[in-house]
Amino acid sequence: MARTLRPARPLADADSATCILRVDPFDGSTGVFRDAAVVLRLSQPLDDHSLGPDALRVCDTEGVVPGCVQVTGEGAVLVWTGARPLRAHDLHFVLASGLRDTLGREIPSHCSRFVPGALAFADLRGTTG
């Protein structure tokens, strides 16, 4: 799983619980590009040590979709990128679990779903990959 180096960041706010603020594609999305990234925005920075191989997964009807996760945005944004195009017209799930903030507090688990369409963004640009 790839990790991105980034500058020092502030610790999590001890007075507020850390949560997932937004997931793209959002729950119930359809027609998502087959080469789209999955992005989770957190309310506080993530503890990198909690980002294990099963912490953020994308699954389709065949199982876990191969991909990698990078952390950016001062540690508060996770970006999953698939190693292959997503299966068109197949239900996909975004599953996040076991994540912790920099104070060691568990971030509530997340599950959402989306369905890719027939096109990849690369198709619109006239390129592949």
- 10 Å CB burial of residue 105 (0-12, 13-18, 19+) is middle
Condensed to tens digits (0 to 9), the pLDDT of residues 86-128 reads 999 999 999 999 999 999 999 999 999 999 999 999 888 765 5
Strands 29-32 and 110-116: parallel
Class of domain 20-123: mainly beta
Residue ranges per domain, the chain?
A: 20-123
Residue 124, pLDDT score = 87
Condensed to tens digits (0 to 9), the pLDDT of residues 4-27 reads 444 444 455 567 899 999 999 999
Residue 101, pLDDT score = 97
The continuous run of DSSP H or E covering 124 comes out as: helix 121-125
- Could you tell me what percentage of the chain is helix, strand and coil, using 3-state DSSP and rounding each to the nearest 5? 10, 40, 55
